[in-house]
Amino acid sequence: MAESWARIGAWLQKHAPATFAQLAPPADPAEIARVQDEMGLKFPQDLVDSLLCHNGLTRYSRANFLPALYPPLSAEEILAHWQSNVEINEDLNLDGEQEPDDQWFHPLWIPFGEAEGDSQVIDMRDGSGQVGMHLHDMGGVFNGAWPSLAEYLSATAEALVEGVDAGGRFPYLDEKGELSWDLAGRLHERAPAGL
């Protein structure tokens, strides 16, 4: 995980310094442990390692750090977003008839990126740590998902450094020089590759 974040960071420093400046410093391991305790969940090691590289962002940003366009959350933001979604899910299931796998939000989904109520989640129902999405108007979507956060961040680093796609999206620099991602590179000039 540290290697992927180092490659992402090096690329951002060279090509999108304003985006790089928004990455927060590492999380305190005690904070990560407290958040896990409050959620009653053990984070997959790749999420812990990611938070130990960057604890989300220093401020909310529209910059798209990752190909799925969800800004990374801090440990505290993971907790707050998870708690909010669990409460909404409980309200939606007041009659208790919802099947565990048909829930709007499952308590074993750990959000790690969020934008406008939608989030990228790590699915811990079977312990695999598959990455998917939770859409506020649909629930969970896991088709075409990354097998793990580590593989997702590795593909992100590869896309930036080598100029290839990550899940069908290509990096580009917006009018402010900040990183964003384009489907199949159709609308924007691809960002420069290399460190």
CA 182 to chain centre: 17
Give the count of domains, the chain.
Answer: 1
Q: Which tokens go with 75?
A: 């440990």
Query: Is residue 189 situated within a structural domain?
Result: no
Query: Is the CB of residue 158 less than 8 Å from the CB of residue 3?
Result: no
- Decide if 192 is inside a domain: no
Would you list the DSSP string of 147-187?
Answer: S-HHHHHHHHHHHHHH---BTTEEEEE-TTS-EEEEETT-S
- Residue 66's pLDDT is 87
For residues 191 and 173, is the Cβ–Cβ distance under 8 A?
yes
pTM of the complete model? 0.90
pLDDT tens-digit map of 25-43: 999 999 999 999 999 999 9
190 belongs to a structural domain: no
**What residues make up the domain containing 60?**
2-183
pLDDT per residue over 116-156, tens digit each? Answer: 889 999 999 988 899 999 998 888 888 877 999 999 999 99
Q: DSSP string spanning 108-123?
A: TEEEEEEETTEEEEEE
